[in-house]
């Protein structure tokens, strides 16, 4: 399948409205680490979070995902950056459900892997995903991630603890997959 082209751009305060509206959709937030309340964030909290991302005061390198024609459809980030060991955690969300299942997440994931491996010179990028998030796990596998560990009762979600997988991609595997593409 030919993946759609996406752009990664710096966040702006103009992204607050989209992000807040996406947080009101329980299907969008089902697998995100958000507070166990509804809505998970107020518009002001959303604005403060985006300001922290813009200022890099929260340790996140977060980018807005845009379609080829400029539609803001989600975000992707690197966080928990370990400069000594050259590793980081990646996170991604397509907030605009009209773009689900069409390859936009894979395109954005690959673009952020490029940022991590090429610009930040990381050796390993990892993620955590709920074990019942089958679509995401399948996508991560297709994009070169491998299961590293099961993290039992790792996340509190809707009143119960859920297990998560830790998945990783190493620089060598990324470079190999890019050379085959």
Confirm whether 174 is a catalytic residue: no
Per-residue pLDDT, 160: 93
Report the half-sphere exposure of 50 (CA within 13 A, side-chain side): 22
Distance CA 77, CA 79 (A): 6
Q: What is the CATH number of domain 6-180?
A: 3.40.630.30
**To the nearest whole percent, how much of the chain has pLDDT over 70?**
98
The whole model's pTM is what? Answer: 0.93
The catalytically annotated residue of 31, 60, 104, 140 is: 140
| Interval 82-132: pLDDT, tens | 999 999 999 999 999 999 999 999 999 999 999 999 999 999 999 999 999
Per-residue pLDDT, 48: 96
Average pLDDT over residues 137-156: 96
Per-residue pLDDT, 36: 77
**Is the pLDDT score of 1 beyond 70?**
no
Per-residue pLDDT, 40: 87
Edge-to-edge strand list for the sheet holding 72-82: 6-10, 61-67, 72-82, 87-94, 124-130, 160-170, 146-157
**Is the pLDDT score of 34 beyond 90?**
no
Tokens 């964030």 found at: 41
**Is the pLDDT score of 57 beyond 90?**
yes
Mean pLDDT value across the chain: 94
Domain limits of the chain?
6-180
């Amino acid at each position: 399948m030919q993946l759609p082209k996406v752009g990664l751009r710096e966040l702006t305060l103009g992204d607050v409205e989209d992000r807040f509206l996406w947080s009101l959709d329980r299907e969008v937030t089902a697998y995100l680490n958000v507070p166990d309340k509804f809505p998970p964030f107020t518009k002001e909290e959303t604005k403060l979070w985006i300001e922290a991302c813009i200022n890099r005061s929260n340790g996140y390198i977060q980018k807005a995902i845009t379609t080829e024609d400029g539609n803001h459809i989600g975000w992707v980030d690197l966080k928990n950056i370990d400069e000594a060991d050259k590793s980081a955690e990646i996170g991604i969300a397509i907030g605009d459900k009209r773009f689900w299942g069409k390859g936009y997440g894979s395109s954005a994931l690959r673009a952020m892997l490029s940022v991590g491996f090429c610009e930040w010179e990381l050796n390993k990028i990892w993620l955590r995903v709920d074990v019942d998030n089958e679509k995401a796990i399948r996508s991560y596998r297709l994009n070169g991630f491998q299961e590293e560990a099961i993290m039992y009762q790792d996340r509190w979600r809707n009143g119960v603890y859920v297990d998560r997988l830790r998945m990783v991609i190493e620089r060598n595997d990324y470079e190999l997959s890019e050379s085959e593409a």
